[in-house]
Amino acid sequence: MADTTILGILLRKRMQTAESFQEILSKHGCIIKTRVGIHNASDNKCSPDGVILLDVIGDDSEIATLEKDLKFLYGAEVQKMSFKF
């Protein structure tokens, strides 16, 4: 079995940073297996913050580059979980 790495990103002011965030994801799209977005939504208001979970594959340097690019984005907090099998 392969190792599993999950990157959790808290994206603040996501409406202002969404375009830059999407560019980073597109740049690293080949190593992203799964993307899940979580935010509080209601009928009349869009949440300013959101959490995105990325299930990533690839070698450690590719994942580290994605993590670095995400951390450089204003308003982003990145946390990493790695599971070894």
pLDDT at position 61:
95
Nearest to 10 by CA among 76, 80, 85: 76
Q: What is the pLDDT of residues 21-61, one digit of tens each?
A: 999 999 999 999 999 998 777 777 778 888 999 999 999 99
In percent, how much of the chain has pLDDT > 70? 98
**CATH number of 23's domain:** 3.30.70.1150
In this model, does residue 62 exceed pLDDT 90? yes
pLDDT surpassing 60 at residue 1: no
Kindly report, residue by residue over 9-18, the tens digit of the pLDDT. 999 987 889 8
Domain that holds residue 36: 4-83
> Using N-to-C axis directions, what is the helix angle for 60-72 and 14-27, rounded to 10°?
160
Q: How many domains does the chain have?
A: 1
Q: Cα–Cα distances in Å, from 79 out to 1, 43, 46, 70?
A: 23, 30, 24, 10
